[in-house]
Amino acid sequence: MSEDDYPYQRYGAPYGEQPPPSYGYGGYPPPRPHARGEPNVSGIVALALNLFSVVSCCNVLGVVGAALAGLSLRSGTAPEKARTLTVASWVVLVAGFLMMAVLFVYLGVNGHFDD
């Protein structure tokens, strides 16, 4: 391999003697796109609401919903998987609220709040 075949500047060569390598063979690869796109806002809101439902309403299904929302935020490179987990988190949140509403109606009808 001769000195002329080397694609980079020699040590001590004047600046600009040889152009930088191109993106073709033997050059640098093109920059990779970002692995993560925009943030999953729906997943963040689902996580916050599920955690709030656990703390405020003692909704035990909120723990499952928070776990699903957390997993959806961690799967940033697989958007279809993240979307599925986020939708599942919202479904669990709504199911937990409906279950709590049915429980309060049941307790109210049976006179448990009549003190």
Per-residue pLDDT reduced to its tens digit, 52-81: 999 998 889 999 999 999 999 998 678 889
pLDDT at residue 3 in the model: 55
Instruction: Show Cβ contacts of residue 90 under 8 Å, excluding neighbours closer than 6 positions.
Output: 42, 46, 65
- Name which residue leads in pLDDT, 38 or 50: 50
Please give the structure tokens belonging to residue 107.
């307790």
pLDDT at residue 36 in the model: 55
Express as a percent the part of the chain with pLDDT over 70. Answer: 65
pTM of the entire predicted model: 0.64
Mean pLDDT across 35-41: 70
Q: Rounded to 10 degrees, what is the CA torsion of 106, 110, 113, 114?
A: 160
Mean pLDDT across 37-48: 87
Closest CA to 85 of 47, 55, 58, 48: 47
Per-residue pLDDT reduced to its tens digit, 89-109: 999 999 999 999 999 999 999
Please give the structure tokens belonging to residue 36.
């993560």
Please give the structure tokens belonging to residue 82.
């993240």
